[in-house]
Amino acid sequence: MDIDTPLKTVIRTTKAHLSKLEKMNIFSVRDLLEFFPRAIESTDIASDLQNIQLDTKNTLSGKLVDFRREKTPRGKLLGKAALVLDDNTTVEVIWFQIPYVLRNLKDESQVFLVGKVERSYGMIKILNPEVHLQKNVHVGTLRAIYSESPPITSKWLREKISGLLALVSEFPEILPSQILKKESFLEKSAAIRAMHQPKNSEQWHQARKRLGFEEIFEVQVRILQEKILREKNTINPYRIPLDAQQVKKDLSLVPFQLTTAQKKALYKILKDFEKESPMHRLLQGDVGSGKTVVAFLASLPIVRKKFQVCFLAPTEILAQQHFASAIKFFPSEFSVELLTGSVSETKKKSLKSRLKNGDIDVLIGTHAVLTEDTRFKNLAFAIVDEQHRFGVEQRSLLARNNAHMLAMTATPIPRTLALTVYGDQDISVINELPPGRKPVITRIVADPKTTALCNKFIDDQIQKERQIFWVCPLIDESDTIEAKNVKAEFDRISNEVFPNRKVAFLHGKMRPKEKDRVMRSFRNKEFDILVSTSVIEVGVDIPNATVMVIENSERFGLAQLHQFRGRIGRNDMQSYCFLVVGKPDDAQKTRLRSLEKSHNGLYLAEIDLKLRGMGELYGTRQSGLPDFKCADLNNVEMLQKARDWGQAILQEDVTLKKYPKLKKHIDQKPVYF
């Protein structure tokens, strides 16, 4: 047995436990040992009642006597007993649910109870305590508290992890020894052990700090190494000097004034084209901030040199949208083409051969472009829209041409995260919207009265020939449930809420062609309300849609919600976003309130990062960002330290030959950008 052994072969447990573990992405011994507690608590035995801290959890030890069952006046069953401590004082014990161990317990058994201690009417009581018959991993110690998803409880985890903890020695130490020494870090195995079974709370915090450092350090080394090697090994075959006069003329091709942020981003890109190594830049800007036109303008110097541009979009409909704008934008001497999955085989063949001959200047397309047989004559500039929707491999297919890469995203990336995952130099942010946009008026809908008002309002909007997006949450990542959910909401809305309006639906299970058909007819105003899940068609332009309803909005991150509402308010019409909450829970509402007040995606993302942490920020699995368990991204000092160390190690040895364990680890996992 080693840490990569599948869990189900080493622990004895139920099917329900195993299937929940899988849902939690825990498959191997390693995964379980790396499932860290979110906190720790002491179950040291209170020595006397005089000095006990009331109204908090305490651990008491003594003899349990007089156990009995009693019915409350309302008919609820309670368990009651008295606990006689060593000094003969007595504590009253009350259980709301009678623990299993009590069934066969003899009177005067020695027990340890862990529960909240209160004083009422002069009597000390312990409420609903856990019962332990001896000291173990739960009692008389500092114990771990995990995020629980029933049936996986902290108790279950403590016991199973305790049985496997000897295997911590197998975790490779990837931190170079000089770092461990200089920073006085715990060794990896000691740190993992201390996360689950710390000797004291200081040790637990040390462990967490060290593991958090490692997470960031690892990402730093990975991105810095990638960058150094890229810049060292590739020359820029497409060096193009910036021609300021020409840029001025180009700007006049656009029917509006660029915002200052757009101009800055464009300038950065054009400056990058002059450099010795190819550009590798991320362009981040809120939905509607005008990234596309920046990419188009940057393409002009490329096509003028008779080099090629490729612009990739994640969906067919977005590609078509970009194609339509591109045809309008590029002067007629340049040939602009569209290659997507729905193009016929004959057409594809002819497009690919023209591409190879250099007869196409700008190719716009989807994943369909990224096949082995696509050859460019001289691809100099690759633009990837909504970059997180593409895999790393797919992006690198484009990079093999040594082309300049521009990835675009509407996902706001907090500064600390940008520094961590991207390195800060290669990011441009468009942080303003074009003038004249009215911020989307956003309201929380939490009660039936507001719901009724909201529905009335929506009906009025439809009367004014406006259209409505209706977003349902993705309850599960499985497509079937998604489809069912959308279908159920569609039935409810079309039959009960708006029986006189035209409603359609869209979900991930539908075929791309079918989705396109629905989106197109929505754009052509063939129906009023589109019910869909959150995952689809991020950047689609439906200028006439002025209302968005988001169901169960409390399940989403603020940044995500902000991205959704960016689909409306894309012109000068006033738009509205209704955040419907499942259960009006106050804490959630204060979080959501910031959406009513702020329209700054970056600011909202930073709130999310503070309140909910990395994992919740974008639904990490979808975003392709690393999944930090211990690292605190709000700790800028730590980020800087990890970055400095990463730089120092790579400066000494960029290939990491001297650090085989680190090298092996780094080589295993992908680069994020």
Judged by the rule CB under 5 A, the positions of this chain that interact with Mg ion are 539
Which among 346, 344, 383, 347 has a CA at the least distance from the CA of 365? 383
Contact call for residue 288 and ligand ADP (CB under 6 A):
yes
Sites for ligand ADP among residues 600-639 (CB under 6 A): none
231 token code pair:
């810049």
Site string for ligand ADP, 462-491 (x = CB under 6 A): ------------------------------
Minimum CB–partner distance for residue 383 and Mg ion (Å): 11
Matching residue, tokens 């593409």: 390
256 binds, among Mg ion, ligand ADP, none (CB under 5 to 8 A by kind): ligand ADP
> What does the angle CA 229 – CA 230 – CA 235 come to, to the nearest 5 degrees?
120
Distance CA 212, CA 634 (A): 12
Location of structure tokens 């700054």: 600
- When asked if residue 563 is in the footprint of ligand ADP (CB under 6 A), the reply is no
Sequence-separated (6 or more) residues with CB below 8 Å from residue 126: 58, 60, 83, 91, 92, 93, 94, 113, 115, 116, 117, 118
- Residue 591 Cβ vs Mg ion, minimum distance, rounded to whole Å: 27
Strand partners, 149: 152
Q: What's the Cα-to-Cα distance from 551 to each of 169, 251, 444, 451, 558, rounded to whole Å?
A: 47, 42, 10, 11, 14
- Least distance (Å) from Mg ion to the CB of residue 290? 9
Token pair 């490779």 is found at 172
Question: Which CA distances in Å does 259 have to 3, 39, 119, 246, 262?
Answer: 54, 47, 65, 19, 5
Question: Cα separation of 393 and 663, whole Å?
Answer: 20
| Tokens of residue 550, six digits | 């988001």
**Residue 291 interacts with ligand ADP (CB under 6 A): yes or no:** yes
Options 292, 308, 366, 534; binder of ligand ADP; rule CB under 6 A = 292
Q: Which does 285 bind (CB under 5 to 8 A by kind): ligand ADP, Mg ion, none?
A: ligand ADP
Token pair 């602009």 in the structure block, residue: 336
> 258 touches which of ligand ADP, Mg ion, none (CB within 5 to 8 A by kind)?
ligand ADP
Residues 138, 155: Cα–Cα separation, whole Å:
7
Spatial separation of the C-alpha atoms in residues 295 and 262, rounded to whole Å? 10
Residue nearer to ligand ADP on the CB measure, 17 or 570: 570
CB of 623 to Mg ion, least distance (A): 17
Least distance (Å) between residue 441 CB and ligand ADP? 19
Q: Is 293 in the site for ligand ADP (CB under 6 A)?
A: yes
C-alpha triplet 39, 41, 44: angle, nearest 5° = 160
DSSP classification of residue 465? T
Q: Smallest distance, Å, CB 255 to ligand ADP?
A: 8
CB closer to Mg ion, 536 vs 642: 536
Q: Could you tell me the smallest distance in angstroms from the CB atom of residue 387 to ligand ADP? A: 12
Distance, CA of 362 to CA of 295 (rounded, Å) = 12
Contact pick of 113, 266, 287, 617 for ligand ADP (by CB under 6 A): 287
| From 198, 278, 285, 557, residue interacting with ligand ADP (rule: CB under 6 A) | 285
Structure-block tokens of residue 296: 């188009």
Which of the listed partners (Mg ion, ligand ADP, none) does 290 bind, with a CB threshold of 5 to 8 Å by partner kind? ligand ADP
Strand 576-580 to strand 441-445: parallel, antiparallel, or no bridges (unpaired)? parallel
Choose the contact partner of 293 out of Mg ion, ligand ADP, none; CB within 5 to 8 A by kind: ligand ADP
**Residue 403 interacts with which of ligand ADP, Mg ion, none, CB < 5 to 8 Å by class:** none
> Shortest approach of ligand ADP to residue 281 CB, angstroms?
15
Rule CB under 6 A: say whether 129 interacts with ligand ADP.
Answer: no
CB of 601 to ligand ADP, least distance (A): 11
d(CA 523, CA 542): 6
- Closest distance of CB 406 from ligand ADP, Å: 12
**d(Cα 672, Cα 625) in Å, to the nearest integer?**
7
Buried b (16+ CB within 10 A) or exposed e, 366-400: bbbbbeeebebeebbbbbbbbbbbbeeeebebbbe
Q: Which is nearer to ligand ADP, 176 or 569 (CB)?
A: 569
When asked if residue 568 is in the footprint of ligand ADP (CB under 6 A), the reply is no
Instruction: Draw the binding track, 66-105, toward ligand ADP (x: CB under 6 A; -: no contact).
Output: ----------------------------------------
Residue with the shortest CB distance to ligand ADP: 290
CB of 313 to Mg ion, least distance (A): 8
List the single partner that 259 binds among Mg ion, ligand ADP, none, CB under 5 to 8 Å by kind. ligand ADP
**315 touches, from ligand ADP, Mg ion, none (C-beta below 5 to 8 Å by class):** none
- Strand pairing class (109-120; 427-430): unpaired
d(CA 564, CA 539): 9
**Which region, judged by CB under 6 A, interacts with ligand ADP, from 207-215, 283-291, 455-463, 527-535?**
283-291
Cβ neighbours of residue 321 closer than 8 Å, sequence gap 6 or more? 313, 539, 540, 541
Between CA 534 and CA 556 the distance in angstroms is 10
Residues that contact ligand ADP, how many (by CB under 6 A): 17
Closer of 115 and 290 to ligand ADP (Cβ): 290
The correct pick among 225, 259, 533, 546 for binding ligand ADP (CB under 6 A) is: 259
352 lies in the site for ligand ADP, by CB under 6 A: no
Minimum Å distance from CB 419 to ligand ADP?
23
Nearest to 146 by CA among 155, 133, 136, 137: 155
- Return the range that interacts with ligand ADP (CB under 6 A); candidates 253-261, 466-474, 492-500, 551-559: 253-261
Asked whether position 301 contacts ligand ADP by CB under 6 A, the answer is no
Tally of CA atoms within 13 A in the half-sphere of 280 that contains its CB: 28
- Kindly tell me which residue out of 62, 198, 290, 314 binds ligand ADP, with binding defined by CB under 6 A: 290
Cis peptide before 151 (omega within 30 of 0): yes
Query: Considering the complex, what minimum distance in angstroms separates the CB of residue 259 from ligand ADP?
Result: 5
Buried residues in 124-137 as b, exposed as e (16+ CB within 10 A): bbbeebbbbeeeeb
CA separation for the pair 174, 666 (Å, rounded):
9
398-437 binders of ligand ADP (CB under 6 A): 410, 434
Is residue 67 within 8 Å of residue 81, measured between CB atoms? Answer: yes
Using CB under 6 A as the criterion, which residues of the chain lie in contact with ligand ADP when the complex forms?
256-259, 262, 285, 287-293, 410, 434, 539, 570
